[in-house]
Amino acid sequence: MKYQVAIIGGGPAGYTAAETAGKAGLSVVLFEKRNLGGVCLNEGCIPTKTLLYSAKTYDNACHASKYAVSVSEVSFDLSKIIARKQKVVRKLVLGVKGKLTAGNVTIVTGEASVIDKNHVLCGDETYECDNLLLCTGSETFIPPIPGVDTVPYWTHRDALDNKELPKSLAIIGGGVIGMEFASFFNSLGVEVTVIEMLDEILGGMDKELSAMLRAEYAKRGIKFMLDTKVVALSEVASGNGDTQQIQVNYENAEGAGCVIAERLLMSVGRRPVTKGFGLENLNLDKTARGNIQVDGQMQTSVPGVYACGDLTGFSLLAHTAVREAEVAVHAVLGKKDCMSYRAIPGVVYTNPEIAGVGDTEEALQRKGIPYRAVKLPMAYSGRFVAENEGINGMCKLLLAEDDTVLGAHVLGNPASEIITLAGMAVELKLTASEWKKMVFPHPTVGEIFKEAL
């Protein structure tokens, strides 16, 4: 059968493209070899946030006395936390399927392989298409550390389904995924050590606020080892000899050493999936970094072939993938649209949260762009003070010489919910005076932006 649009991959980019195209009246076939929703919905964004919310609720109960509330015998049940996570995922996967069905999208479960720009093979059947969208996502990157093949370790997928708390956990990588799991396990009483090769956690986020978040978690007992390279992994017997533990050998400015933990989580990043679906048959142009080259409409060097989401290697974030998918389908429909990366929010769902949009100070300095930074403690927001007893936070705005908003960065709950306000200011290139004319509801944490301007 022939379709106007064929999509490989059912993650945020794939299912958004399918739903958008289907609603527009195009005939669409979507190929997904696992579950609809991709990594984000099944083993990434949604399940991790579900776990983190349980941990946050437990934290709040443990510290309820700060709000004049007495809670006795606070406890948690990890198996029930995991079960709730699975329930949430199932519900949302069914929701995605329902939307696609309503849009008359044909869903094919199986491994699809590209024959050429107009033909896709899945199982024993060949599907013809006018337009091909590649939305294959990304996969966990496991670094070639000596000994990695000889020790048991968790990826994020394993950590999400674990029903027994380890006494200690070593996390290799202090990025977004590493810090979110560090936050979760620390809240539940696990001894956590984060080993990061860079000089600060959360590379790409505002460095000053990242350091503040690290300091907060250090007070809660997490041990951070920065500027530290892992050089070897091995198994060693525990003190009583009954069980095996993981030994992480490292090197840093202070010399060589090791961390011994009951469990090891690998969290050094992800890389685009480029193999296993016939990509080589399209002979697409690549960027200097080896990613798929696309234009402003997400079209590759081959007319009628589009790449969206993690496959482009630009921004391995679900919300970026969603917008890229919309742009690609609009191109197929002949609608004028263009992808903009000026204001892609980044969020880390620790407690407190940290979020940023637009340029960081470090990025502006690398680009040689003059700017001024405006900083304001989150305590200037009445709502924040009312809901965050004893917790510090910071709002930082970066303004150009003409006061155009170049970036905004927030440490403090709910940074994830208010960062969109700043994102719109960055995307629309508002000046500080223009943004300040907007009426912010009171009392809200988002008012911190108006206070800072």
CA distance 381 to 376: 10
175 is in an annotated binding site: yes
CA distance 283 to 375: 48
390 is in an annotated binding site: no
Helix (H) or strand (E) holding 361: helix 361-367
Phi, psi of 79 (to 5 degrees): -65, -35
Strand pairing category for 223-225 and 125-134: unpaired
CA distance 411 to 377: 9
Cβ neighbours of 19 (radius 10 Å): 21
Crossing angle for the helix pair 12-23 and 78-102, nearest 10 degrees?
30
Q: In what order do the strands lie in the sheet with 229-237?
A: 229-237, 244-252, 255-261
298 is in an annotated binding site: no
CA distance 285 to 295: 11
Cβ neighbours of 149 (radius 10 Å): 9
196 is in an annotated binding site: yes
CA distance 2 to 27: 8
382 is in an annotated binding site: no
CA distances from 88 to 19, 34, 83, 156 (A): 21, 18, 9, 17
257 is in an annotated binding site: no
138 is in an annotated binding site: yes
49 is in an annotated binding site: yes
Query: Is the CA virtual torsion 403, 405, 410, 414 positive or negative?
Result: positive
Q: Which of 63, 156, 409, 442 is catalytic?
A: 442
173 is in an annotated binding site: yes
CA distance 380 to 452: 9
- DSSP code, position 65: G
Residues with Cβ within 8 Å of 429's Cβ and at least 6 positions away in sequence, in order, are 404, 405
Name the β-bridge partners of 259. 248
269 is in an annotated binding site: yes
Q: Tell me whether residue 330 is one of the annotated catalytic residues.
A: no
203 is in an annotated binding site: no
CA distance 163 to 157: 12
Tokens matching residue 112 = 């699809």
3-class SS of residue 59: helix
235 is in an annotated binding site: no
124 is in an annotated binding site: no
Cβ neighbours of 130 (radius 10 Å): 15
Residues with Cβ within 8 Å of 377's Cβ and at least 6 positions away in sequence, in order, are 392, 393, 394, 395
The conformational region for residue 122 under phi > 0 = left, psi -120 to 50 = alpha, else beta, is beta
310 is in an annotated binding site: yes
CA distance 270 to 155: 11
178 is in an annotated binding site: yes
Q: List binding-site positions for NAD(+).
A: 173-180, 196, 269
Which are the catalytic amino acids? 442
Positions at the binding site for FAD? 49, 136-138, 310
Binding site feature residues: 49, 136-138, 173-180, 196, 269, 310
